[in-house]
Structure formats: C-alpha cells, structure tokens
C-alpha cells in the first residue's frame, strides 16, 4: 500500500513537467482515423479531406502553465483550411486561449489568428503574418498562462500579451481549468478572403504535424491543483513577466507583422474601445 502511494506521488511529480508522448498526453477525439500518432508517440498528424477533418485533446486539464507545441502547417495550397490549437474550459461561461492558423494559396502568407475568451466572451482578436514560412519546418508555438498575464509566443518571440486587468473590471481566466485542443477542418465559407477562395480538394488530404509537446503546468484533478504548494508556485513561469528584451521583440512583431488588432478597431466599437485596450 505504502509503495503504491509512493509510486503515485512519483508519477504525479513527473507529470507536472511532462515531455511525454502523444499517447500519454492526448486522446484523438474525432476524424475516424484521420488523426494519427507515429514513431512511438513522438509525432502526431491531423488530416483533412472532403469528408472530414480531425482533432485531438489533452487528457489533462491545466490551470496555469507554460505550454509549448511544435507545429508544421498544411503546405502548398492550403486556402480554406484552418488549424486550430487552443486551450478551453467547458460550459457556457468558458475561458479560452486561441491560436488559429488560416491557410492560404501557395506562396501567400498564412494568417495567425489569436483570441482570448473570458466567461464565454471573446471579441479580442489579434492577427499576424509570420516572419517565416510555417509550412516548411516545425516552429514552436507557446502559451504562458499565469495569474498575471497570458503571453502568446512563436519560437520564443512574444507576439501578444493579455494582462490581468481585473482591477479595472476585465475578467481574467484564472478559475476554470482548461484542456488543450487541436483540430484541422475546412472553413472555406469564411477563412480565405471572407470565403471567396474555396478549398481545392484536388490537393487533399491536407496534413498538419505536431511534435515536442511540453507542459510545465499546474495539473487539475479531483478539484485540486498540483500547484497548491508554495514550492510549485515559486517556479519561474508562475510569476514570469516580459523583460525589456522581450518587450522589444513584442513591439517589433506588433509593428511589422500584426495585421489586425481589436484594440485599434474604433469602427467596430463605436461606444469606445474595450477597457483593457485603453490602458495598454
């Protein structure tokens, strides 16, 4: 009995910083064989054809963490396809942190779309082009989520920061544990130029690839966080902020690669920009 308990404790500790396999960390949830795990769990592919897309979700729920995944997106003519990679809690007043990659015609840039939902309300889109071709090789897409901020990063370069603005009345995701989800699906009714460019099914199946998942995170199970102890809360990412070099990189991306920012869309918000935009 004691040794069983010991085993659970050891496993529990290992799970917190998991660089495991896709078998260990994820369940394939849909796509009828179109999502596949390869190489002993080191590699995962999603595919999309005319009949269906595919998707997976994490076995664990997380409440705060630093979560990295390497993705290689659908190459070639990927117009109309959307690869979504996000964290989300269940229910009708859910929280959500989104990366979505909107495919494009060969040679035209992908759009990286980001959003943050709190209590079921989003409308906080920021969109970017990337400074590299995201279909040519794997790149790391990271979410840092701690009680003070959410930072979206690409290859270690921060592209967006959503700060905790509860002091001025903006809800922040901090009570609802989230799972990681990813899916590849057809959205040619809206994705490329508002639906003008249709998915070219002669290029199907479309495939996106995943590897090197790493979660340094607080796991949630049976109503408890694995970060309840002050020791785990003292880990660097739990209170991490952007240092001045990261702030400069963030500014560089926002100046050169941002193509949409809800915080500057005064037409969309004639009554005034959202409160969190006014302080930034």
Ligand X SMILES: *[C@@H]1O[C@H](CO)[C@@H](O)[C@H](O)[C@H]1NC(C)=O
In the bound state with ligand X, the residue whose beta carbon lies nearer, of 191 and 253, is: 191
**Beta carbons of 18 and 214 less than 8 angstroms apart:** yes
Give the separation between CA 223 and CA 146, rounded to whole angstroms: 18
Residues 6+ apart with CB under 8 A from 26: 37, 44, 56, 57, 58, 59, 180, 213
Q: What is the dihedral of CA 268, 269, 271, 275, to 10 degrees?
A: 180
Give the separation between CA 53 and CA 129, rounded to whole angstroms: 24
In the bound state with ligand X, the residue whose beta carbon lies nearer, of 108 and 200, is: 108
Give the separation between CA 140 and CA 278, rounded to whole angstroms: 31
In the bound state with ligand X, the residue whose beta carbon lies nearer, of 16 and 187, is: 187
- Residue 23, SS3? helix
The least CB distance from residue 260 to ligand X, in Å, is 9
Residue (of 236, 177, 199, 171) closest to 74 by Cα position: 199
Give the separation between CA 127 and CA 160, rounded to whole angstroms: 10
The least CB distance from residue 102 to ligand X, in Å, is 4
Catalytic (active-site) positions: 96, 100
In terms of C-beta density within 10 A (0-12 exposed, 13-18 middle, 19 or more buried), how is residue 170 classed? Answer: middle
Note the residues at the interface with ligand X (CB under 6 A).
102, 104, 108-111, 191-192
In the bound state with ligand X, the residue whose beta carbon lies nearer, of 107 and 169, is: 107
In the bound state with ligand X, the residue whose beta carbon lies nearer, of 77 and 118, is: 77
Question: 70 has which bridge partners?
Answer: 140, 211
The least CB distance from residue 160 to ligand X, in Å, is 17
The least CB distance from residue 12 to ligand X, in Å, is 42
In the bound state with ligand X, the residue whose beta carbon lies nearer, of 191 and 227, is: 191
The least CB distance from residue 274 to ligand X, in Å, is 24
Give the separation between CA 140 and CA 69, rounded to whole angstroms: 6
CA count, 13 A, side-chain hemisphere, 236 = 3
The least CB distance from residue 280 to ligand X, in Å, is 24
């Amino acid at each position: 009995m004691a040794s069983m308990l010991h085993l659970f404790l050891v496993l529990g500790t290992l799970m917190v910083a998991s660089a495991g396999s896709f078998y260990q960390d994820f369940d394939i949830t849909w796509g009828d064989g179109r999502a596949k795990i390869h190489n002993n769990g080191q590699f995962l592919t999603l595919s999309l054809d005319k009949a269906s897309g595919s998707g997976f979700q994490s076995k664990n729920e997380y409440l705060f963490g630093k979560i990295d995944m390497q993705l290689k997106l659908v190459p070639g003519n990927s117009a109309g396809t959307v690869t979504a990679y996000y964290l989300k809690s269940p229910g009708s007043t859910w929280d959500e942190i989104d990366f979505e990659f909107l495919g494009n015609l060969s040679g035209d840039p992908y759009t990286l779309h980001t959003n943050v939902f709190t209590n079921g309300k989003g409308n906080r889109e920021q969109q970017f082009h990337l400074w590299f071709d995201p279909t040519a090789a794997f790149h790391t897409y990271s979410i840092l989520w701690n009680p003070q901020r959410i930072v979206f990063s690409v290859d270690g370069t921060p592209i967006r920061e959503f700060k905790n603005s509860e002091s001025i009345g903006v809800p922040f995701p901090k009570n609802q544990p989230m799972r990681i989800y990813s899916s590849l699906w057809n959205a040619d009714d809206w994705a490329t130029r508002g639906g003008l460019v249709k998915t070219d099914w002669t290029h199907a199946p479309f495939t996106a690839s995943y590897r090197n998942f790493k979660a340094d995170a607080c796991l949630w199970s049976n109503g408890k966080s694995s970060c309840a102890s002050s020791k785990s809360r003292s880990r660097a990412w739990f209170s991490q902020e952007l240092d001045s070099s990261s702030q400069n990189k963030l500014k560089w991306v926002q100046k050169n690669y941002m193509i949409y920012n809800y915080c500057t869309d005064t037409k969309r918000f004639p009554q005034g920009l959202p409160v969190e935009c006014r302080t930034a």
